Amino acid sequence: MNTISKLGLAAAMLTTCSSGAVQAASLVQVSLWDKGASTEMPMGLAYAAPGLDITRATMGMKVLPGAVKAGEVTFKVKNDSKDTIHEMIVMFLADPKKPLPYIDAENRVDEDKAGDKGEVSELDPGKSGSLTVDLKAGKYLLICNVPGHYGAGMWAEFTVDP
């Protein structure tokens, strides 16, 4: 077999083998942060709130990257707070212009009505957790639903591209 034929055979084998390969999950790093438990939490900073000024937030989420391809997504979540428990919940936004359903008496989002796709439950300060979910294309919101935190601005938009 000459060198060109060997190269052609090798290329064909690589193409055949790689077409059946499983795509690895997209990796998203999430940092849950706040300015400390003694800092007063402003309210009215929920997603899509009228007159929203997120610069007033005393807690939030840093998400990198902010967009991934549809399919399996792994969220690596770290609570970077020194003294406050936080969590991260993935919510599908059926209508990105509308706020999430809220239970005023409990000061939190109604997870059952909001489209909860999975969560990393309450993390103590300095602790980490992960979540792997299969996400379809669309707009999502990552939130902390510890009472008061979402309304204080602890959320981040997240996009899943086709």
> Residue 65: pLDDT above 80?
yes
Separation between Cα atoms, residue 136 and residue 21, nearest integer Å: 20
- Mind giving me the DSSP string for the chain? --HHHHHHHHHHHHHHHHHTPPPPPEEEEEEEEES-TTS------STT-TT--GGG-SEEEEEESSEEESEEEEEEEEE--SS--EEEEEEE-SSTTSPPPEEGGGTEE-HHHHTEEEEEEEE-TT-EEEEEEEE-SEEEEEE--STTTGGGT-EEEEEEE-
**Average pLDDT of the residues in 28-37:** 96
Neighbours of 117 (CB within 10 A): 16
> Residue 16: pLDDT above 90?
no
Confidence of residue 107 (pLDDT cuts 50, 70, 90): very high
> Residue 133: pLDDT above 80?
yes
Confidence of residue 116 (pLDDT cuts 50, 70, 90): very high
Give the per-residue pLDDT at 74: 98
- Beta-strand relationship, 155-161 and 59-64: unpaired
Confidence of residue 104 (pLDDT cuts 50, 70, 90): very high
Domains along the chain? 24-161 (2.60.40.420)
Burial 56-91 (b: 16+ CB within 10 A, else e): ebbbbbebeeeebeeeebebebbbbbeebbbbbbbb
Give the per-residue pLDDT at 23: 64
Neighbours of 19 (CB within 10 A): 7
80-97 confidence digits (pLDDT tens): 999 999 999 999 998 999
**Average pLDDT of the residues in 145-153:** 95
Confidence of residue 9 (pLDDT cuts 50, 70, 90): very low
> Residue 20: pLDDT above 80?
no
> Residue 79: pLDDT above 50?
yes
